[in-house]
Structures are given as structure tokens and as C-alpha cells.
Amino acid sequence: MEGAEPVATPAAPPKRSDLPVRVASAAVMLGIAGFALWQGGLVLKGFIALVGFGVFAEYAALAARIAPDPARMVTAVITGGLYIGWAAFALIVMPMVLLIAVLGLVICTDTGAYFAGRAIGGPKIAPSISPSKTWAGLAGGMAAAALWATLYILFAAYVLSAMSPTGPSLAEAFRTTRLGMAALAGAGLAVAAQAGDFYESWLKRRAGVKDSGRLIPGHGGLFDRVDGLLPVAIIAGTAWAASGAAAGGAGGA
């Protein structure tokens, strides 16, 4: 009608931030994982086994959405069982010093990739699989992981030097460590962590879901949290076992 005043459309309510929920969930997760690490022994082994079982359950749920027939479903479940079980077993049997190194490396990789990706941006690695992953983020994750590996092995060497008759010596720690090799190993494991992240993103993309589960408010499922840890655990655990076997073989020769 001419002269009628337009009816104002009510504004949509502002979207609430999930940051408080994410922070609270992260604090709870860190508290539980930290308690398990502090306790060690059977508590830590049981915690890792429980998380591994939960990750496998989420993997199987994704596979059920993807597999077109029972035969491929069985193949997918077996593959996932080997992948996740291998990683969980490696984490259970590796010494505490290596476990902390692996966990720290994955955390540094994720942190470095996040901040470098946000600050620099640039070309995406595989936008059809994971739209947020950039080459700059990968480089940032590699740099952070290399720095972590270098500092960690240097600190370990310094602690060992403290057991010598001459006492702790930073110069001795520098002399006895191969920091370049540590940095290269850290950067390489960062690539493996990112590959694990891409693998899970590919599974979720094929399954048509955003998260692997809803167990952790604001963070998705367990698989979402440890996707990068799985391949790093497999590589580091296998390398540690192989080096131990080689040393044992050399000692028995």
C-alpha cells in the first residue's frame, strides 16, 4: 500500500562463540592426559589403550559411511585396526622420554602450522580435502617441530652430562649431539603428522561429516585430536624398536 511504512525485519541473534567450550574441553583433556602421564605405568598404558579403542570406534563409524559393501567394510576395518593399533602399541611400549618427545613434537607441529597459516596464508595444499591447510602452515609446523626436536635432544644431553664426574656442561651437550639431524628428523615427522591430519580429513570428506565424533565438546571426536599423532607414533616407535634390535644384535655379535 502506498505510503505504508516498511516492516523492519528482526535482526538475527549474533552467533555465540564456542571458544569458552573449546577452552574448557581442552583443559579437561590436558588434565586427564597429564594425570595419566604423571601416574605412568598401568594407568598410562590403560589410558592409551582406551583412547586407541575410542579412535578405532570412530574410524569404524566413518568406514561404515564410506564402504559400499560388506567386503570393503571388512577391509577398511582391518586396515584401520592395524593403523590405529600399531600406533597405540608403539605409544604403550616406548620409554617415557620418547613418549614426551613425540607428544611435544605433534603439539608443536599443530601450533606452528596454525599460527603460520593464519599469519601468512597463501596457497592451499589440498583444498578439496582440507580447505584450511596451507603450504605456509606446513612450513611453520615443520619449523616448530624442528625447533622442539633440537631443544629436546639438547636438554636430554645436558641432563646426561650432569651425571658425569665433571658435572653438567652445555658445551659437552652441544658436542655430543647431532642437532642438525635432530632438526631434520623433527621436520620430517611434522610432515608425517600433517599427512595423518590429511588422511583423517579425507575420510571425513568421503563420509560427509565435519567431525569424527561428538565426544569432546567444541573439538569433535578423539580421532580429530590424535590424527597427526598416529603416524608419528608409528614412525618413532618403530625406529626406536629397530635401533634397540640393532644394538642388541651388535652387542651379541
pLDDT tens digit string along 199-226? 999 999 999 999 898 887 777 889 999 9
Residue with more model confidence, 244 or 51? 51
Q: What is the rounded average pLDDT of the residues 112-128?
A: 92
pLDDT of residue 1: 45
Residue 232 lies in a domain: yes
How much of the chain, in percent, has pLDDT values that exceed 90? 60
Per residue in 89-119, pLDDT tens?
Answer: 999 999 999 999 999 999 999 999 999 999 9
Q: Where are the alpha helices (DSSP H) in 121-169?
A: 135-161
CA–CA separation, 6 and 139 (whole Å): 54
Expressed in angstroms, the distance from the first to the final Cα of the chain is 100
Residue 253 lies in a domain: no
Q: What is the rounded average pLDDT of the residues 221-234?
A: 95
Q: What angle do CA 201, 123, 147 make, to 5 degrees?
A: 75
- pLDDT over 90 (residue 66): yes
Q: What angle do CA 87, 92, 97 make, to 5 degrees?
A: 105
Total number of domains constituting the chain: 1
pLDDT of residue 14: 53
Residue 2 lies in a domain: no
Residue 10 lies in a domain: no
Domain housing 139: 38-243
CA–CA separation, 144 and 190 (whole Å): 9
- pLDDT over 60 (residue 10): no
Residue 22 lies in a domain: no
Query: Considering only 6-15, 70-79, 112-121, 136-145, which range has the smallest mean pLDDT?
Result: 6-15
Q: What is the mean pLDDT of the chain?
A: 87
Residue 112 lies in a domain: yes
With a CB cutoff of 8 Å and minimum separation 6, the contacts of 161 are 167, 168, 169, 170, 172, 173, 176
- pLDDT over 70 (residue 18): no
Residue with more model confidence, 200 or 68? 200
- pLDDT over 80 (residue 80): yes
Residue 116 lies in a domain: yes
Long-range contacts of residues 201-209, Cβ cutoff 8 Å, at least 24 apart? 201/129, 201/130, 201/133, 201/227, 202/129, 203/59, 203/62, 203/63, 203/66, 204/62, 205/128, 205/129, 206/62, 206/65, 206/66, 207/62, 207/65, 207/66, 208/65, 209/62, 209/65
pLDDT of residue 239: 94
Query: Considering only 7-21, 128-142, 172-186, which range has the smallest mean pLDDT?
Result: 7-21
Q: What is the rounded average pLDDT of the residues 20-42?
A: 85
The C-alpha cell that represents 38 in the structure block:
604423571
Q: What is the rounded average pLDDT of the residues 164-171?
A: 73
Displacement of CA 53 from its chain's centroid (Å): 16
Residue 5 lies in a domain: no
Residue with more model confidence, 196 or 30? 196
